[in-house]
Chain A
């Protein structure tokens, strides 16, 4: 099946620093999404990307859909303590593919922010 490789696995940063994480895939996805998961809760959608090359921002978060449709990155600027959590990328095939909306998730990036 399709696999997403997400890196880094974990990051320890100081408050105020910028953060970057990325996902790569051996196969094409037509939609890339970034979710954040806090302990004991479900994934919460941060950014959805639908078009190759698209760059989208949501506050301090910026994500890009790679031109090849096989990768995506997420940047967090000026990190704050509440950014702590696990960040997941997820890919979706989209219409015309062999799946019906199924999300394939990366392994997650654990972010720790020191005040």
Chain B
């Protein structure tokens, strides 16, 4: 069964450094998402992306964050000048469709554990 893949599985970075988290969504999916989960807490929405632009972003997704689809397969989340509180699991998700024409569920990758020292 096709799946969402994320790399790296674990990233350790010094505070203030930039990180790029990578995702390969399921190949025929058109809608892409990033979520994060701080240890022991619920999953929180960060951003949705469709047709090469951000559709929606949460309050968490401030100027420190950016997303990009640099080619036909990858979807990246960049965090500039990381802070201690950015330590969390970051999940990428994708779905085939959303909205008129039929909602399709989001499928998640296994996440990248980001540790900021």
Contacts and interface: CB of A to CB of B under 8 A. Distances in A.
Contacts, number: 71
A6 to B, nearest CB: 8
A103 B108 CA distance: 12
Interface size class for chain A?
Answer: 20 to 34
Contacts of A48: 105
A95 B98 CA distance: 7
A41 B113 CA distance: 10
Interface in B71-100: 91, 93, 95, 98-100
B109 A42 contact: yes
Contacts of A35: 108
Contacts of B42: 88, 105-108
Contact of B48 (A30, A88, A101): A101
A42 B99 contact: no
Given A100-B50, A105-B44, A106-B42, A95 B99 contact: yes
Nearest to B108: A42
B62 interface: no
Given A94-B99, A101-B99, A108-B42, A43 B48 contact: no
B110 to A, nearest CB: 5
A88 B43 contact: yes
B89 to A, nearest CB: 8
